[in-house]
Amino acid sequence: MLSLLRQRLGAPHTLSKVAATNSCLLSTRRSFLTSVPRYEPTDAAPKKTAAAKKPASKADSKDAAKKPAAKKAAKVETPTRPKLTQEDMPPKHPGTAYIIFYTKYLKGLSEAHKPKSLADVSVLAKDASAMWRSFSEAEKQPFVDDFQRARALYVIEHQAWLKNVPSETLAEINRRKVAQGKRQISGPRPVVEVIRKRPLTNFFRFISEFRQTAEAAEILRTTEHKGHLQISRVAGEKWRAMDEDARAPYTEAAKKEWDAFNLAESANDISTAI
């Protein structure tokens, strides 16, 4: 039996081959059961690549070249206004006859009676106003004459100022007047000669006064037609009978009016020549 088996298996080296084969199979089985299987990926996921930048087109490069740099806002410069001094201002208009009287009235007060407060000024103004209203025309006349002389000088000075004042200075003065709600100063303009009423002489002042008397009214009542002529005749007779002292009030009043008239006429001539 044993011999038969040996025959089938062959020579001794054949047995050793079989044993080696069995041992190889056992080791292969053991490694298959204990080792982690490794799988090779068949299809690998493609790697992401960075997107290629598109080259700038010619139109885009032209637009970028055309866009100018942002300009800074220009500063708005305010015009410089001329500074005004007292010499630049026009001459002041003279006060009225009453203002001249009131100024002299205040100057004539003694130190003890000069106003110390606003209440004192108010009281003095009322007193001066009452005194002015009580004056006759003859008593007011000196202040009227002073006003006429001052106004004649004002006309001369104002025309000369208008002729020489720079246009920028006049514009600034008018701007301030408008801001204060005052009337603007107009520029130089041709002066129209004014025909003034000539004042009365001393004799005609006397006649004008005589016509207001009761004697003149009686002449008009008793004379039918030429009553005014008769009044002039009677007034002439009375005037010729008067001495220089009696005529003095009419002569002095007439002289003051004529002086003011002549001064105003000369002022008008000078302003016309300017």
Confidence of residue 34 (pLDDT cuts 50, 70, 90): low
Provide the pLDDT for residue 17.
Answer: 53
User: Is 177 part of any domain?
Assistant: yes
Query: Domain boundary residue among 165, 189, 213?
Result: 189
216 and 183 part of one domain: no
CATH number at residue 94: 1.10.30
The gap from C-alpha 192 to its chain's centroid, in whole angstroms, comes to 33
Query: Domain boundary residue among 129, 160, 189?
Result: 189
185 and 207 part of one domain: no
User: Is 19 part of any domain?
Assistant: no
Mean pLDDT of 29-40: 52
Counted domains in the chain = 2
- pLDDT at 233 > cutoff 60: yes
User: Is 15 part of any domain?
Assistant: no
178 and 208 part of one domain: no
- Tens digits of residue pLDDT in 187-220: 665 544 455 677 888 888 898 898 889 998 888 8
Percent residues over pLDDT 70 in the chain: 63
- Tens digits of residue pLDDT in 111-121: 767 788 888 88
- pLDDT at 273 > cutoff 50: no
User: Is 79 part of any domain?
Assistant: no
User: Is 197 part of any domain?
Assistant: no
Domain that holds residue 129: 86-189
User: Is 132 part of any domain?
Assistant: yes
Average pLDDT over the chain reads 74
168 and 111 part of one domain: yes
Confidence of residue 69 (pLDDT cuts 50, 70, 90): low
206 and 178 part of one domain: no
Confidence of residue 5 (pLDDT cuts 50, 70, 90): very low
- Tens digits of residue pLDDT in 100-154: 998 888 888 777 677 888 888 888 888 888 889 888 888 888 888 889 888 888 8
Query: Domain boundary residue among 167, 189, 211?
Result: 189
Confidence of residue 274 (pLDDT cuts 50, 70, 90): very low
- Tens digits of residue pLDDT in 238-255: 998 999 999 999 999 989
Mean pLDDT of 13-31: 52
User: Is 23 part of any domain?
Assistant: no
User: Is 128 part of any domain?
Assistant: yes
